[in-house]
């Protein structure tokens, strides 16, 4: 039961207020009650940190832990692209390595201009979840018509996504530590990172973050911390991102029409604010790099990634009752005015 005994001064002022202003005030109050009652509790829905020679792939199998380093060679196809804890992969080449994956379940895919690169995962020294680029000869470069492009996406399940309606609140952040070997200054012409999210069954790409590869100097690697305010960021809808087409990006048919879907290219025209996304079930990132003619290759990957989201709550029954009362009062005022 809600009292209608306003303080005398407020009651007097309310009586003197025009009806349309009273109705507007009541409707604003109702909207405020909905906003306040639909509160959200921020939680960490995913967190990963690569550990040198240990996690998420290790050297325990008697090799160097690189069996998954180039293990992703097909396009991203949603649930069909899954890699689970305990999955084993053996690399190809003259020194094949068999490695057991012991990290979190992920879904990954790669699109590429040529076969000189692939996606994969290895421990910290190999730059975590990554793109691995091999040698690019002058012949390959000429045949490609320029620098060779590679894209890879990695998606991870949000914690308890099946039982929570996750949304992005004002303080929710996505953070990544992106690693680049410093010799990328002569082996790469482009490298970028974007956060990714799956919401209401659709995939969205976050803000573009590019690495100034020409400025890299010295030995070993450099790390770059990428932070995204999830609610205020603009997210681009990735139409038809799931695909089983594994052709090269530049392939065309006899009529010159492209036969690859370009499904990892962020060129959509539909954008939304992160605060409008609901039912978030997965988070992750999209990597892209291009390579000129070079020998030795390089790894470009993410060594750490974490994501926060908020649990959207349903208003309490008492709140619904108060809102209904406000709307009923507004209805009575409108009828009296008529």
Q: What's residue 10's pLDDT?
A: 39
**Strand, coil or helix: what is 78?**
helix
Segment-wise mean pLDDT, segments of 10 residues, the chain, 338 residues: 42 47 51 47 95 94 92 98 97 91 98 98 96 98 98 98 95 98 98 98 98 96 97 96 97 93 94 97 98 98 98 63 56 58
Q: Classify residue 271 by burial, with Cβ atoms within 10 Å: 0-12, 13-18, 19+.
A: exposed
Angle between helices 19-37 and 317-337 (to 10 degrees): 170
Contacts of 251 (CB under 8 A, 6+ apart): 258, 259, 260
Count CA atoms within 13 Å of residue 336 on its CB side. 11
Q: What's residue 62's pLDDT?
A: 81
Can you read off the two tokens belonging to residue 320? Answer: 């619904």
Q: What's residue 23's pLDDT?
A: 52
Q: What's residue 318's pLDDT?
A: 52
Phi and psi of 256, rounded to 5°?
A: 80, 10
Whole-angstrom distance, CA of residue 315 vs CA of residue 53: 48
Q: Contact 150/293 with Cβ under 8 angstroms?
A: no
Whole-angstrom distance, CA of residue 184 vs CA of residue 169: 37
Q: What's residue 335's pLDDT?
A: 61
């Amino acid at each position: 039961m809600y009292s209608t005994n306003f303080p005398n001064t407020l009651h007097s002022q309310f009586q003197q207020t025009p009806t349309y202003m009273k109705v507007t005030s009541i409707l604003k109050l109702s909207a405020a009650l909905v906003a306040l009652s639909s509160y959200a509790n921020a939680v960490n829905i995913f967190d990963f940190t690569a550990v040198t020679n240990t996690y998420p792939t290790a050297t325990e199998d008697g090799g160097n832990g690189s069996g998954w380093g180039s293990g992703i060679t097909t396009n991203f196809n949603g649930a069909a692209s899954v890699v689970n804890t305990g999955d084993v992969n053996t690399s190809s080449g003259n020194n094949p390595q068999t490695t057991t994956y012991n990290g979190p379940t992920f879904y990954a895919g790669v699109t590429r201009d040529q076969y000189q690169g692939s996606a994969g995962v290895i421990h910290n020294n190999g730059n975590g979840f990554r793109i691995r680029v091999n040698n690019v000869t002058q012949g390959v470069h000429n045949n490609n018509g320029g620098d060779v492009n590679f894209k890879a996406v990695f998606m991870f399940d949000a914690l308890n996504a099946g039982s929570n309606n996750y949304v992005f609140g004002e303080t929710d952040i996505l953070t990544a530590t992106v690693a680049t070997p410093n010799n990328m200054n002569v082996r790469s012409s482009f490298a970028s990172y974007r956060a990714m999210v799956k919401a209401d069954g659709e995939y969205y790409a976050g803000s573009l973050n590019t690495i100034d590869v020409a400025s890299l100097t010295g030995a070993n690697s450099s790390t770059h911390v990428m932070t995204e305010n999830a609610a205020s960021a603009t997210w681009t809808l990735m139409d038809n991102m799931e695909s089983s087409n594994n052709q090269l990006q530049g392939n065309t048919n006899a009529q010159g029409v492209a036969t690859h879907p370009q499904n990892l290219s962020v060129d959509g025209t539909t954008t939304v604010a992160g605060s409008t996304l609901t039912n978030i079930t997965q988070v992750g990132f999209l990597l892209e790099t291009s390579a000129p003619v070079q020998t030795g290759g390089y790894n470009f990957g993410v060594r750490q990634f974490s994501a926060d989201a908020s649990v959207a709550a349903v208003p309490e029954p008492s709140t619904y009752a108060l809102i209904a009362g406000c709307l009923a009062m507004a209805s009575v005022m409108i009828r009296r005015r008529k």
